[in-house]
Amino acid sequence: MLRVNDLRLTRHALLGAASIGVLTLATPQISLAQEGAASSGFDEIIVSAQRREQSAQDVPISLQSFDSDAIDRQSISEASDYLALTPNVSFTQDGETGSRGVNISIRGVGDVDLGEVTVANSIGYYIDELSVGSVANGVINPQLQDMERIEVLRGPQGTYFGRNSSGGALNLTTKKPTDEFFASLEGQYGSFDTWGVNGVVNLPLTEGLAARFVASYEESDGIIKNVNPNGTPSSDSEFLNLRGSIRATPRDNVTIDFSANYTDEDEGLDPTVATGVLDLDTQSIFGSDFIPVETVGVYPQNQRFTDKDAQEENLKEYLILNGRVQIDFDGFMIRSITGYVDSSSDRFADLDGIFADTLVRENHYDGNSFSQEIRIQSTGENTLDWTVGGIYAKDEIDQFNSIRSGAVGSILHPNTGLVTGLLPPIPAGFRINENNRAFETKSIAFFFDGTYHLNERVDLTAGGRYTHDKVTNNFFGTVAFEGAVPDAAGSDSFNDFSPRVALTYHWADGVSTYATVSKGYKSGGLDYIQSGAMAGVQPFLPEKLWNYEIGLKLAAYDNRLLVNAAAFYIDWKDLQIQTNFLAVPGDISSAVELTQNATGARNIGFEIDAQAMVADGFVISGGYGYIDSEFDDFPVAILAGGSQVDLTGRTLPRTPKVTWNAAAQYDTAISNSINGFARIEAFGRSSSFSDLEAVSQSILGLPQFPYRAPHFGVVNIRMGVSSGNVSLSGFVENLFEEDYYTSTSENFGLAGMRVRPNPRRYGIRLKVSTGAL
């Protein structure tokens, strides 16, 4: 029997599919109408979504692409800048992984709930074909300077990308060294006393050898100020990014690329403020009638100040080494990709979140990842375009986690005058819960893919990837509550074959539709449970999903109109749900992090994006995404506080039903020597649950703030002028000061859960180069 929600989602899905069908029927006439006209529209968009350069309109994948001009004009410097402009892609910023940390969901597929670290991600992150997602803290967001292209791929990308890309992949390509000298220098200044400088130098060294160097530095006072003189003064930050690359062509058919990228991120306070609403764990320890400690106000009235006594800091370092060798033969080529990623993350946090030194948290993570891929694929125009290859990868992550008491065990509540804190008082510096963890994953995979051009209109694509993962975990040096298991170790192996089949029909020049069936896979793993009947190492299953998709690609009116649309149904099994709770109610030392497997979920929806050149220099664009998602069968979900709830039929966390964006940009010649541009853009999304605890609040009919992240719409404006090799531009982001946050942050705390505000920002940029801009 269909439920009301099923009827609603079916209506939306049929609307999306019908839209694609109507556009398909109309497009042959559009294409015929443009025959014989001179081309004056958009340049062809080239992507490497299938590990070969192709027109985006020929690839049977739902994707969004940003070229180097778009990256520059839209001031894209980090992931959130382009993810916000991509339908059916959402992200959360909790502040715990720094001001740049983002957790990504594509079509509702992502890490449903995050624990201290996510070893296997649901979204692949690739820079120059190298997976960089397996870093120490599970989150990477490098600064985006001197980029050639950014691609956001929706749906499982296992055939080509593998490595835990069941939801989709981010495919980033940097600019490579060339045989011409080039140099540029850019300075910028903005709100919160934020300033930075970026530089690029390209050097032709000798015939067949060139080098390129990129450097960027940014410093900011941060959006949050601390009124407590004993604590870190602000959420200030320093970001340094260095990249050097070399390209050698010792022979006509041999290309060697090597790059080294170093990133250092130093930040102070978590960029969050308190809400005054206690989470379940805090209530279980201090009682549901406990009054939050509030001294500087709560969100949304307070979005700038906090009162913390601890010296908070968040430090991260990354080193990415990437070596690629390509040898071209007659009709095919061989490519080797060798990569190494070394990363570290140190976080010292004020766990109680108030003015008193009651509880502190310390995390230190070290990680390294090595991979070697060999790929052989056809080149040139063929009846069959094929690719075969294999990859070996090894990821290692070491963690140190500690929760300990501060200088005081109890305080006088400033609002009630009552004694509160950890009762009975415990010694200063007492290690309440401390452990070391070591994770190792070894993975080997073989993949193949081929596109057979049956005739001028029909393409059949089929491929697959076989993966073998071995996961080993060690837990040792634990200091914890009485009865806990101090040390444990275990390992497990997982095997998977993920196929992909796509059928594309080219109705006319610039018009095609496709249907795709693909499978996604995310490796299983092991948990270490310290307490009770679950004590020891507990395995959890891999995630697997099937994606069923139909899509439209349209380029019409001399390439002045581009439309891409897709509708999809995702059947998701054994979702990995990470949750934290207290094994001993009321005892913070018994905190347990557990990964459950929900029986299943399903996501259904559609996305459409379009851009039109309505006049020379004037472009409008927009996108809309809709998702209806729910757990199919999840009767026993363990939440914070140790409570259990039936989540069957409930919406998945971090999955807004609607995402949208719109933009208009005008480029014009102001004079013979001066060009100018103006751009206005808007983006937004509907409300979404922050985590499973938020979903349970809705079931119980309790207040939704701050568990449910609000719907929002944000407007940005950008404009600039250029003359020869000099450009000046400015921007205002969140023009109308929309109050919003994307997720709750550190839930535990005596001042309540915390959220990250998004204030209005403004800035200017001045750029000088050796060539015209």
| pLDDT confidence band for 139 (50 / 70 / 90) | low
- Residue 234, phi then psi, degrees to nearest 5: -160, 175
pTM above 0.95, yes or no: no
The CATH code of the domain that includes 67 is 2.40.170.20
Whose CA is closest to 732, among 679, 665, 664?
A: 679
Supply the pLDDT for residue 24: 40
Supply the pLDDT for residue 260: 98
Supply the pLDDT for residue 680: 98
Supply the pLDDT for residue 286: 74
| pLDDT confidence band for 506 (50 / 70 / 90) | very high
Whole-number Cα distances in Å, 639 to 543, 589, 593, 600: 20, 17, 11, 18
- Long-range CB contacts (< 8 A, 24+ apart) of 282-288? 282/747, 282/748, 282/749, 282/750, 282/752, 283/641, 284/582, 284/585, 284/586, 284/641, 284/642, 285/582, 285/586, 285/587, 285/588, 286/420, 286/750
Q: Would you call 68 exposed, middle or buried from its count of C-beta atoms within 10 A (0-12, 13-18, 19+)? A: middle
Q: Cα(125)–Cα(259) distance, rounded to whole angstroms?
A: 17
Instruction: Please state the rounded mean pLDDT for residues 226-238.
Output: 96
Q: Cα(79)–Cα(29) distance, rounded to whole angstroms?
A: 39
Q: Cα(181)–Cα(179) distance, rounded to whole angstroms?
A: 7
Are residues 46 and 53 in contact, defined by beta-carbon separation less than 8 angstroms?
Answer: yes
Strongest mean pLDDT among 51-55, 127-131, 478-482: 127-131
Using the predicted structure, report yes or no on whether residue 29 has a pLDDT greater than 60.
Answer: no
Supply the pLDDT for residue 94: 77
Instruction: Please state the rounded mean pLDDT for residues 262-271.
Output: 95
Using the predicted structure, report yes or no on whether residue 492 has a pLDDT greater than 80.
Answer: yes
Strand partners for 604: 569, 628
User: Tell me: the pLDDT tens digits for 286-316?
Assistant: 777 778 888 899 999 999 999 999 899 999 9
Residue 703, domain extent: 4-769
Using the predicted structure, report yes or no on whether residue 465 has a pLDDT greater than 50.
Answer: yes
Supply the pLDDT for residue 36: 37
Question: What is the amino acid identity at position 132?
Answer: V
User: For the chain, what is the domain count?
Assistant: 1
| pLDDT confidence band for 20 (50 / 70 / 90) | very low
Strand partners for 512: 506, 553
Instruction: Please state the rounded mean pLDDT for residues 690-700.
Output: 79
Using the predicted structure, report yes or no on whether residue 642 has a pLDDT greater than 70.
Answer: no
Instruction: Please state the rounded mean pLDDT for residues 468-481.
Output: 77
Supply the pLDDT for residue 118: 52
Whole-number Cα distances in Å, 339 to 259, 324, 370, 393, 439: 10, 9, 6, 9, 19
Among 147-151, 637-641, 684-688, which stretch is predicted with the lowest mean pLDDT? 637-641
Supply the pLDDT for residue 594: 76
Supply the pLDDT for residue 307: 95
SS3 75: coil
**Rounded mean pLDDT of the chain?**
87
Whose CA is closest to 348, among 364, 367, 332, 327?
A: 364
Instruction: Please state the rounded mean pLDDT for residues 407-411.
Output: 71
Q: Which one is predicted more confidently, 429 or 69?
A: 69
Whole-number Cα distances in Å, 132 to 58, 120, 637: 27, 12, 32
Strongest mean pLDDT among 347-361, 593-607, 691-705, 717-731: 717-731
User: Tell me: the pLDDT tens digits for 557-581?
Assistant: 999 999 999 999 999 999 888 776 6
Using the predicted structure, report yes or no on whether residue 415 has a pLDDT greater than 80.
Answer: no
Supply the pLDDT for residue 483: 54
Supply the pLDDT for residue 111: 80
| pLDDT confidence band for 771 (50 / 70 / 90) | confident
- Long-range CB contacts (< 8 A, 24+ apart) of 325-329? 325/254, 325/255, 325/256, 325/257, 326/254, 326/255, 326/256, 327/253, 327/254, 328/253, 328/254, 328/255, 328/379, 329/253
Instruction: Please state the rounded mean pLDDT for residues 102-106.
Output: 90
Residue 588 has what DSSP assignment? G
| pLDDT confidence band for 534 (50 / 70 / 90) | low
Supply the pLDDT for residue 14: 42
Using the predicted structure, report yes or no on whether residue 426 has a pLDDT greater than 90.
Answer: no
Q: First-to-last CA distance in the chain?
A: 61
Among 33-42, 234-243, 457-466, 700-709, which stretch is predicted with the lowest mean pLDDT? 33-42
Supply the pLDDT for residue 326: 98
Using the predicted structure, report yes or no on whether residue 464 has a pLDDT greater than 70.
Answer: yes
| pLDDT confidence band for 113 (50 / 70 / 90) | low
Using the predicted structure, report yes or no on whether residue 120 has a pLDDT greater than 80.
Answer: no
Q: Which stretches does DSSP call E strand in 141-208?
A: 147-154, 168-174, 182-190, 194-206
Q: Cα(87)–Cα(709) distance, rounded to whole angstroms?
A: 18
Q: What percent of the chain has pLDDT over 70?
A: 85
User: Tell me: the pLDDT tens digits for 143-200?
Assistant: 889 999 999 999 999 888 876 789 999 999 999 999 999 999 999 999 999 999 999 9
Strongest mean pLDDT among 560-574, 639-653, 696-710: 560-574
Instruction: Please state the rounded mean pLDDT for residues 48-59.
Output: 86
261: tokens are: 């990228």
Q: Which one is predicted more confidently, 359 or 201?
A: 201
349: tokens are: 């946090």
Q: Cα(289)–Cα(711) distance, rounded to whole angstroms?
A: 30
DSSP H/E element including 424: none
